[in-house]
Each structure stands twice: as C-alpha cells, then as structure tokens.
Amino acid sequence: MVASQPLKAGQVVLRDSPIILYSALPLIPQSSSSSSPVFCDYCFRTLSQSPSLGGPSSTVLCPSCCHHRFCSPKCLSLAQNVLHTSWVCKALSQLRVNSALLEQPLECQVQVNFLVAAYNLASVSPSNFQILLSLQGSSDDATIAAAQFLHSLMSSLCPFAPTSLQKLFSLELTAALLAKDKLNAFGLMQPFSEDNEERSVRAYGIYPYASFFNHDCLPNACRFDYVDTSASDDNHNTDIIIRMINDAPQGREICLSYFPVNENYSSRQKRLMEDYGFACKCDRCNIEANWSDNESVEDDAEDIEEAMDEDQYENMAASDTEINSQGENNDFPHAYFFLKYMCDRNNCFGTLAPLPPQGDAPSDVMECNVCGNLKRDNGFDGDGGQDGVSMED
C-alpha cells in the first residue's frame, strides 16, 4: 500500500469490512470460562453478564443449536443468512461433541471455527470466497500434511453441506485456506483491562483491503476498531479503520505493525518468520540487530526520556527518516516513537495516532488503538508530553 497523495497524521486511509468473521473463543466451552465475557455471535459486541442490566436473559439463542447467542433478534436473523447458516449451525454442533477435537489444543478449535466460516463463505458469497483465495498465502507439502487432521473434521461435515459446496472439499483447499488465515487475519480484541497482562482476541476477521498492508516495526499507520463503542444500530461495528500515525509524502509505503510495537528484536524476528514467513529488514531492525543485549525498547521509556533533552526529541521527530535512510550511526533514533506513540497505560501496549485532522488543521488529541484512551499531545515536555483528555474536549 503506497500513498498516492501526501497524507496527514490522523488521516483515515481505509475503512474496511470483513469478508469473514469468526469467533476466537474455543468451540468447546472451557469449564473456567463462566466469568469470561460473552460476545454476540453476529456483531461480536460484548453481551452484558448481568440479567438486571439486560444480560443473557434478554439475548437470543439460536433456536436450533441453543448454543450460539445473539444480542437481538435482528442479529440472529442476519446471522442465519450469512455467518450462522443452517449448515454452520449443524457443523459446529457436530464438532462440539467430537472427542478427537476436544483433545486438541484450543488453537485448533479456533482454526475449525475459521474453516467452517471459510467453506460457508464459498456457499453464501462465491465472489468474496474468490477474494479470500486471491490473498497472499499458499500451502506447501508440509502445511498440507499438517492440515490432515483438520481436513478429516471438515470432510465429516461434507455430506450435509449444500450441494454446491460438497464438490469443493479437499485437503489442498483446506490447507490453502489455513495459509490465507495465518497471513491475513486481524484480531478484534476483547475489552481492555489494565488487570489483564494477556491481550485476548474476541474474533478474527479477514479484511480484503487491509490485507494489502505490509509490516514495519516502526509503522506509519495503525488500525482502530470500535466493536463495542459504535452506535447500537451501526451494522458496520466490526469494520476496521486505518489511520496515519504521522505525515507521509506521496509515494511512501504505508505500513502497519502486525503486533504490539514494544516487542524486542529477537521476538519480532521470530514471530515474523514463523507466522508471516519473512525476515524483517526495516530501519528499526537494522539498528536493533546490532544491539548487544537485544534489550526491549519499552523497558525504560523513562530512562530514554531522561537521557535526551527536549531539543534532541524534536530533532529526531523531524528527521527520523533522514537518519534511517542515510544510516547515520545513532544508537536509538526511534526512541521518540515510543515516547510519543506508545500508550503508557498498564498492560496496554497500544499505539497512539492523532484523531483525524479537521480540514487542514491537525488534531492534537491522540487516541490509543487498544484501550481507546484520548490524550492531549503537547509535544515533548517534562512529563511525557501528554495530558488526559475527556471525550467532551
């Protein structure tokens, strides 16, 4: 994805709707999960747990499987046409009592959610299924062999699939679909809580245009979603929005970070190779590859701040690309990024981007793409440069 015109910090460059959306929760409920949040199986909004607050008693269960839960009759009816068709309902019900699947890691159960959603897409929207197949990601002999167990499960669902679908089932297609999912799925996170060290995903989606963004460990754009906070009558609450973090000239590649930016060099390289199949050679990796201890940059943002005075930050912020492209020997030219664009809330690790500009005027309010916090960006000052701001501001 390359800027076809100069872009401003905060500018929305893409709003994208998912062609596939599937639950990230294991198919077979865990005994410890009774206090975990529950989500509508169509719009994935959080369902209130308390009956007095309109909790599960006011939600709607699928009348066939009595398992999938929806926040309203409208969501149930929309789901029955697209995500929770009669084949999906029957397929998931059958898989939930499959003892071989029960013995598999939870991740395998989530892959099954994806495969059922993907095969179902071939039936409900052949054109979107072709888009899914056109995305990057292909299978090889090793991934085909690894897909065998999952495909045996899918084959057991074939006899009662719609006729148009039955001829599609194959080990090669199952493996190819898994490869598409691995490279392209975006996670919609569960509501943020400072007490949770692990960030949990509520659902995964495949977003056809957002899938074109490459990765950079110092991204110039990041993605937002408003699954719970968009208006209750908004049928596009699972859309994702890509906003610029900083200005970009025409011709500049626009990149996202595929995971929180605070990870250290070796874990980023490992993850990018294992999950996405490439060795990252971005400016940040080129610098951090030479660090002797591979220390995480998030370790001591305060030390970094103390080590540099305000003028240095401003110089870095103004000339980071120059430093990087010319390879100047600066140990930590991206320090400013962590101070300005990384959320400082406990356990958040989100990225901050300015709100969209109003006309030509840039916004000085930064929004976190994980916890949703809004902060006034006053530049770099003695206390981190950011003040809390309320929505009314």
Ligand X SMILES: C[S@@+](CC[C@H](N)C(=O)[O-])C[C@H]1O[C@@H](n2cnc3c(N)ncnc32)[C@H](O)[C@@H]1O
Nearest residue to the partner ligand X, using Cβ? 214
Question: Measured from the CB atom, is 20 or 280 closer to ligand X?
Answer: 280
DSSP secondary structure string for all residues of 332-388 = -TTHHHHHHHB--STTT--BEEEPPPBTTBPP-EEEETTT--EEEE-SS-TTTTEEE
Selected binder of ligand X within 169, 259, 276, 332 (CB under 6 A): 276
**DSSP label at 325?**
H
Does 192 interact with ligand X (rule: CB under 6 A)?
no
The stretch near ligand X (CB under 6 A) out of 26-34, 276-284, 370-378, 381-389 is 276-284
318-333 burial, b at 16+ Cβ within 10 Å, e below that, comes to: eebeebbeeeeeeebb
Does 257 interact with ligand X (rule: CB under 6 A)?
no
- Region 100-159 residues binding ligand X, contact defined as CB under 6 A: 136
Selected binder of ligand X within 74, 96, 215, 376 (CB under 6 A): 215
Question: Measured from the CB atom, is 65 or 285 closer to ligand X?
Answer: 285
Selected binder of ligand X within 280, 297, 343, 371 (CB under 6 A): 280
Question: Measured from the CB atom, is 10 or 137 closer to ligand X?
Answer: 137
Please give the Cα distance from 193 to 348 (Å, whole number): 8
Kindly give, in sequence order, each residue whose CB lies less than 8 Å from that of residue 217, ignoring residues fewer than 6 positions away.
257, 261, 268, 280, 282, 284, 285
Selected binder of ligand X within 278, 314, 330, 378 (CB under 6 A): 278
Q: Tell the smallest beta-carbon distance from residue 217 to ligand X (Å).
A: 8
Cα 213–338–289 angle (5° rounding)? Answer: 75
Does 254 interact with ligand X (rule: CB under 6 A)?
no
Does 277 interact with ligand X (rule: CB under 6 A)?
yes
Q: Tell the smallest beta-carbon distance from residue 201 to ligand X (Å).
A: 17
Kindly give, in sequence order, each residue whose CB lies less than 8 Å from that of residue 110, ignoring residues fewer than 6 positions away.
22, 23, 24, 25, 26, 27, 204
Does 214 interact with ligand X (rule: CB under 6 A)?
yes
- Region 281-320 residues binding ligand X, contact defined as CB under 6 A: 282
Does 183 interact with ligand X (rule: CB under 6 A)?
yes
Q: Residues 174, 168: contact at Cβ < 8 Å?
A: no
Q: Residues 223, 187: contact at Cβ < 8 Å?
A: no
Q: Tell the smallest beta-carbon distance from residue 153 to ligand X (Å).
A: 26
Please give the Cα distance from 133 to 246 (Å, whole number): 33
Q: Identify the helix (H) or strand (E) that includes residue 70.
A: strand 69-70
Question: Measured from the CB atom, is 70 or 129 closer to ligand X?
Answer: 129
Give the binding site for ligand X (CB under 6 A). 136, 183-184, 211-212, 214-216, 276-278, 280, 282
